[in-house]
Amino acid sequence: MLKISQIWKNILLETEAKTTTLAYDLYINTLEPIGIYHDRLILLAETRALKNIVNNNYKDVLRVSAKSVFPSILDVEVITEDELPHVGSVAQEVDIPVSNKYIAETEDKVTFVSQYTFENFVVGKSNDYAEAVARAVADNPSGKYNPVFLWGGVGLGKTHLMHAIGNSLQRNFPEKNIMYVTCEQFVNEFIESIADNKSNPNAMRNFRTKYRKLDVFMMDDVQFLANKEGAQEEIFNTFNELYLADKQIILSSDRPPKEINIAERLKTRFATGVIADIKPPDLETRIAILQKKCNSKGYNLTIKVLSLIAEKITNNIREMEGMLNRIISYSTLVGGDPNDMDIVADALRDYADASNDIITLDHIVKATCEYFNVKKDDLVGKKKSKEIVIPRQICIYLICDILGTSVPLVKIGEFFGGRDHTTIMHARDKISEECKTNDVTAAQVKDIRDKIYNR
Ligand code: ADP
Ligand code: MG
């Protein structure tokens, strides 16, 4: 039996890959699943306007996505609250067949985004090794490469490659028991099972068996384990058990094992197999990726527009896609041609404004304080202890780096308790240098930056 929330979650995953981020966030992800009525999925829209937008634009994609995961769902119906009483009795839990593409593991059904395949992954110098390793593992799990550790910056394709492995394994080795989790999911489940264990003595055991009976275990974003000792211990044991039984393990992170703030023995384990990094792609590869995305989403954009995007955004493919989507949705909105350079310029001006709006000096200060666990008053105050000075300097560096000349150094000095602008410059330059020579500082700056951008 599958709960309606579970069903909807899987359909969302499928839909996300097929729609623009904007449409997904604005419309689709706000719908609430009500239940299944015969062969239909009933969704509730908050307003009549939203219902109309979805009905006019996104019904097909919803229907196709639903059907591709759950073949017995033939249609999708969007209703508003006032129509609720007219809907017959809907089922909120159903015994529903799942498409062969997906493993039906009752609650913990693994679904891989169908668009994240090797075919849709553009290979260049920056990622060819990682891609080759991923393909080798997909063709021959528990072979030469075990464990596999993929690492690279945000939005460079780690999750895409893991799903590509998953999609390929499910097709070629349907009998294998494959699991993909984000590290965060694993940690949350672990914490829940500890809590549940008081009332249900089997909770912990169930959790352990689930992970230790796998043939292939994939865990995304393992940097999330930093500072979580209990979960690290659990992973360590899971890892050992799977590894000794010659099961395939694939991990990803935004940094190499040695730079993750975890127990030494776990770092060593993570690094025993193959470590493959993904770097930001070069210009040609970025353009090729944009072309591929255009093909799969049915956009018709000239090389000129794609080059413009690829030149503006150099180290995050997800952001590049965001800009691409932005141009399409803006041109649709104003009824213009997305290849008209004036339209493109307008779309991107708004885009830049929107993203600049989000980050202010306060955001940066808040993120730094949270990260180092220091009070704002201390951060901007006079204390000279190391625990305060380093966060202060990093914060100043980030303000200068992110906000650029929009906030004059004198103003930053005033904010930091009336310090001289030369003090601000000194802090900025010191951290900037240190980022190049000191891994710890570089990692801290990166963490806070990610926090600021909400990644
Ligand atoms: P990460 O997990 O490293 O943060 P993702 O795997 O989520 O990054 O990738 C972000 C987006 O960029 C996804 O939409 C993905 O399909 C796309 N992408 C990344 N690398 C490539 C590539 N080489 N070819 C095609 N698309 C890519
Ligand atoms: Mg990812």
| DSSP states of 98-154 | --TTS---GGG-----TT-SSTTPPP-TTTHHHHHHHHHHHHSTTSS--SEEEEEST
pLDDT given for residue 88 in this prediction: 78
Give the distance (Å) from ligand 1 centre to CA of residue 94. 34
Which tokens go with 141? Answer: 């799990």
Nearest to 293 by CA among 268, 330, 319: 319
pLDDT range class, residue 453, cuts 50, 70, 90: confident
The SS3 assignment for 355 reads helix
The β-bridge relationship of strands 248-253 and 216-220 is: parallel
- pLDDT (tens digit, 9 = 90+) per residue, 136-175? 999 999 999 999 999 999 899 999 999 999 999 999 998 9
Q: Is residue 105 over pLDDT 70? A: no
CA distance 275 to 268: 12
Q: How far is CA 110 from CA 2, 51, 95, 99, 209, in A?
A: 13, 30, 17, 12, 16
List the single range of 172-176, 196-200, 210-214, 366-370 with lowest mean pLDDT: 196-200
365 touches ligand 1 (CB under 6 Å): no
* pLDDT of 197 strictly over 50: yes
The answer, as to whether pTM is greater than 0.75, is: no
The contacts of residue 227 (CB under 8 Å, 6+ apart) are 261
Q: Which two tokens stand for residue 282?
A: 């070069």
Q: Which amino acid is at 445?
A: V
CA-nearest residue, atom 25 of ligand 1 = 121
Q: 237 pLDDT exceeds 90?
A: yes
Predicted local confidence at residue 157, as pLDDT = 96
Rounded CA-CA distance 409/413 in Å is 6
- Read off the amino acid at residue 74: L
- Residue environment code for 232-271, b if the CB has 16+ CB neighbours within 10 A, otherwise e: bebbbebbeebbeeebbbbbbbbbbbebbebeeebeebbe
pLDDT surpasses 90 at 326? no
Q: Which atom of ligand 1 is nearest to the CA of 254?
A: 3
Q: Whose CA is nearest to atom 14 of ligand 1?
A: 318
Which stretch of 240-244, 248-252, 322-326 has the lowest confidence by average pLDDT?
322-326
3-state DSSP call for residue 3?
strand
* CA R_g for the chain: 24
| Ligand 1 centroid, distance to 289 Cα (angstroms) | 9
Ligand 2 centroid to 156 CA: how many Å? 8
With 0-12 / 13-18 / 19 or more C-beta atoms within 10 angstroms meaning exposed / middle / buried, residue 166 is buried
Q: Mean pLDDT throughout 182-198?
A: 88
Burial of 408 (0-12, 13-18, 19+ CB in 10 A): exposed
| Percent of the chain residues topping a pLDDT of 70 | 95
CA 298 to chain centre: 23
Distances (CA, A) of 197 to 76, 184, 211, 216, 235: 39, 20, 17, 26, 18
pLDDT of residue 305: 96
- Rounded CA separation 445/367 (Å): 11
Helix H or strand E encompassing 252: strand 248-253
160 lines ligand 1 (CB under 6 A): yes
CB 137 within 8 A of CB 180: no
Is the C-beta atom of 286 inside 6 A of ligand 1? Answer: no
Task: Find the distance separating the first CA and the last CA of the chain, reported in whole Å.
Answer: 34
Q: Residue 355: its pLDDT value, please?
A: 55
pLDDT level of residue 357 (50, 70, 90 thresholds): low
Nearest-CA neighbor of 152 among 161, 140, 141?
161
Share of the chain above pLDDT 90, in %: 59
> What backbone phi and psi angles, to 5 degrees, belong to 216?
-135, 125
Name which of 2, 14, 4, 63 is nearest 37 in CA terms. Answer: 4
- Ligand 1 binding pocket mutation candidate from 184, 279, 297, 318 (most atoms within 8 A of CB): 318
Given a contact cutoff of 8 angstroms between Cβ atoms, the answer to whether 314 and 321 are in contact is no
Closest by alpha carbon to 60, among 45, 49, 44, 76?
76
Q: What is the 3-state secondary structure (H, E, C) of 168-230?
A: HHHHHCCCCCEEEEEHHHHHHHHHHHHHHCCCCCCHHHHHHHHHHCCCEEEEECHHHHCCCHH
Ligand nearest to the Cα of 317, by number: 1
Closest-approaching ligand to the CA atom of 163: 1
Take residue 241 and report the two structure tokens written for it: 């058990």
Give the mutation target among 16, 112, 160 for probing the ligand 1 site: most ligand atoms within 8 A of CB: 160
* Ligand 1 lined by 321 (C-beta under 6 Å): yes
**Which residue lies with its CA nearest to atom 6 of ligand 1?**
157
Structure tokens, 51: 């219902």
**Is the preceding peptide bond at 147 cis, omega within 30 degrees of 0?**
yes
Cα of 443 from ligand 1 centre, angstroms? 22
**Residue-averaged pLDDT of the chain:** 89
111-136 confidence digits (pLDDT tens): 798 889 999 999 999 999 999 999 99
Q: Which atom of ligand 1 is nearest to the CA of 116?
A: 16
pLDDT at 106: 38
Task: Write the pLDDT tens digit of every residue in 21-46.
Answer: 778 888 899 999 999 988 899 999 99
